[in-house]
Chains A and B, each alone.
Chain A
Amino acid sequence: MVSEHLRELFPNLDQCDETSPRDPLYNCFAWALRLDDTWVEPREYADGYWPEGVSRELKIESFVAFFSLHGFSICGNSSYEEGLEKIAVYADRNGAPTHAARQLPNGKWTSKLGALEDVTHELDALAGSDYGEVRVILKRTNPFANLVQS
């Protein structure tokens, strides 16, 4: 079941589960790291969290560097692999990052949609919207592999 406002924003989102209420306290890049109390944003004047020493340019390379601080590296595919945690970073046609989604143990993906809800979805369901397309997949050894996944 897809809410009307989400269908308007994401025409390819045929099916998803909303897993949180709307919340402006955190965004997708925080949620990719399992944080639900932080707004991650590189632009200096945007008041978001961004680590010292990582480029603030809105480029894929900046986000690869950002996620590498948390143990992620570039990966060749988006298939689910036991023991690995994967993140997909979306970018617009200019290559500017727009969104990130985190893979769940069932192979689906969880996304925080801006200041809106968290949803569980197929990877390509958000493509074609303002988020553009998936540009890079990152992976790390899943530090929560032996815990219940959220």
Chain B
Amino acid sequence: MSFDRSRNVQFRNDRQTKMSRSGPMMIQELIAQPSISPSTRDSAFWSDASAGEEESVRVLSRSIIERFARACQSIQEKADEFYLSQSKPEEAERMMRLSVELYKGLTKPLNDLLEKSTPADRELVMRGVGRLETAESVFNSLADQWRHERGATSWASQMAMQPSYQSIIGMGPTAIPFILRELDKQPDHWFWALRSITRENPVKPHQRGKIREMAQAWLDWARNRGYQW
């Protein structure tokens, strides 16, 4: 692949200008442009950058990734706040969707970058996205722990009382995309958590106990609200 230096430099300058703004301003800007697609733009950027200038890429990447992470964190916190207060549920959902888009857009370039990084750089980058990475890994760890802790109980209500399950509920809306992904992969007893976090229940009375149908009801509900997982 040929490396177009002028295009790459211009692209990076544009990105730096965008990213050099303060956190709240950037969030407002991103909210105003929900069509922004970090994954597409970043893929082009990182693909070009991989042809050379690795050091400058590393320096720039830290800045971009850390700013992305801070933006995601701010958006998630705001969404949490709206969810808990129930004052602006639509705004909360919109923010959650945005943070998920940002997170997914971040994953690919981050992985590309980490492959090329020194251990010291890797640590720096990981610190920058610590909260987001932590959220997913904490969820996965708690979910594994829950499957072990629930043992052979015959009651979903006891399963939901396990500390690991309660901790997942405690993660709030941040956990929703992770729960949906689990539900999509293998229907299981995630309904209590979803009800607790969202304060909704799309399961119809005749579907109670039919775990596959209940999972489908929640996945349909999530799609209708723009969740991605």
Question: Chain A: residues with CB nearer than 8 A to chain B?
Answer: 9-10, 24-30, 37-41, 43, 45-50, 98-100, 113-116, 129-131
Of the candidates B159, B187, B192, which one forms a contact with A25 in the assembled complex, judged by CB atoms under 8 Å apart?
B187
CB pair B156–A41 under 8 Å, yes or no, is yes
Q: Are B157 and A41 in contact (CB under 8 A)?
A: yes
- Interface status of B185 (Cβ within 8 A of chain A): no
Residues from chain A with a CB closer than 8 A to the CB of B40 are none
- Which DSSP category, helix, strand, loop or mixed, fits chain A's interface? loop
Are B187 and A40 neighbours in the complex by a CB distance under 8 Å?
Answer: no
- If the complex has contacts A37-B210, A48-B209, A49-B210, are A24 and B152 also in contact, measured as CB distance less than 8 A? no
B: residues with CB less than 8 A from A are 147, 150-157, 159-160, 186-189, 191-192, 203, 208-212, 214
A112 nearest in chain B by CB position: B154
Q: Are A45 and B157 in contact (CB under 8 A)?
A: yes
Give the number of residue pairs across the A-B interface with Cβ within 8 Å: 80
The complex places the Cα of A131 from the Cα of B159 at a distance, in Å, of 15
Are A29 and B154 in contact (CB-based, < 8 A)?
Answer: yes
- B209's contact among A40, A98, A114, by CB below 8 Å, is which? A40
Give the interface SS of chain B, mostly helix, strand, loop or mixed: loop
- Chain B nearest CB: distance from A38 CB in Å? 5
Q: Is the CB of A114 within 8 A of B151?
A: yes
**A15 CA to B156 CA, complexed, in Å:** 27
B37 to A: closest C-beta gap in Å: 36
Chain B hits for A26, CB < 8 A: 211
Provide the residues of chain A in CB contact with B211, threshold 8 Å: 24-26, 37, 39
- B152 contact set on A, CB distance < 8 A: 9-10, 113-116, 129-131
Chain A minimum-CB-distance residue to B148: A5
Residue of A nearest to B201 (CB): A47
Contacting B210 at CB < 8 Å: which of A9, A24, A38, A131?
Answer: A38
Q: Is the CB of B188 within 8 A of A24?
A: yes
List, sorted by A's number, 24 A–B pairs whose CB atoms are closer than 8 Å.
A24-B187, A24-B189, A25-B211, A25-B212, A27-B154, A37-B211, A38-B210, A39-B209, A39-B211, A43-B157, A47-B156, A47-B208, A47-B214, A48-B208, A49-B209, A50-B208, A98-B154, A113-B152, A114-B150, A114-B151, A115-B159, A116-B152, A129-B152, A131-B152
